[in-house]
Amino acid sequence: MRQDVRLFCGALGLLAMAACSLRQPAVVTEDYAFPLPAAPAGAQGGNSISVLPFASAPAASGQMFLYRADDLRYERDFYNRFLVPPAQALTGGLRKWLGQSDAAEVREPGAPLSSDFIVQPRLTELYADYRDPSRPRAVVSMVMVLIRRDPSGNRQVFERAYRGEVPMAEVSPASAVDGWSRATAQIFGKFTADFRAETGV
């Protein structure tokens, strides 16, 4: 009899635990696009360029947002993340930016007609700096390797590091995305200016 009572109580406990788990709300996450402002148009360039897919440093490769909490500690935000990996969004973004700027004709890598230049981009930093919550900042860093193609072989024109750091309106995921967008636009603008300087446009 006692064994039957114990079994009955155990069954009731399992049912209670199952009921509690059913009542727990589902985890809600927010997915954000990585928008970029339109590039300002400039003088029409006579060269062509191919943009290879962005490589990413490990800290900048995830879709979850990254926050810098202090000098040594970074935190991932499980609830807020990019809709697609940042490197994927930036690859399309840089191709679109260069096309809008008229700095060069943008060709897809592997297109039948070879381009005059190739850019190998690498994303090295992408985080919101919350070390001072009263002054949050969005940080983006990249490395651009520009290569000139000619019949005698490829020649590296330059390898340069670019960093964009802009103030955020507030500590929030939406403000971080806006800041990253503006910081990226700064970097793309600097790279475009450097490309024009090297090609005489």
pLDDT value at residue 43? 79
Residue with tokens 């096309």: 99
In angstroms, the Cα distances linking 133 to 30, 74, 103, 128, 172 are: 22, 14, 39, 10, 11
The answer to whether residue 149 is domain-embedded is yes
Which residues, other chains included, contact 77 with Cβ-Cβ below 8 Å and sequence gap of 6+? Answer: 64, 65, 66, 67, 173
Amino acid sitting at position 17 = M
* CATH code, domain carrying 144: 3.40.50.10610
Q: Is residue 42 part of a domain?
A: yes
Task: Look at residue 102 and tell me if it is in a domain.
Answer: yes
What integer pLDDT is reported at residue 23 of this predicted model? 57
Residues 6+ apart with CB under 8 A from 6: none
Residue at 53 is within a domain? yes
Enter the tokens of residue 124.
């090295």
Counting the structural domains of the chain, the total is 1
Give me the residues of the chain with pLDDT under 70, please: 1-26, 112-113, 201
pTM for the complete prediction?
Answer: 0.84
Quick check: is 127 in a domain?
yes
Which pLDDT belongs to residue 69?
95
| Full domain range(s) for residue 50 | 31-199
Do the domain assignments include residue 167?
A: yes
**Does a structural domain hold residue 12?**
no
In a domain, 10, yes or no: no
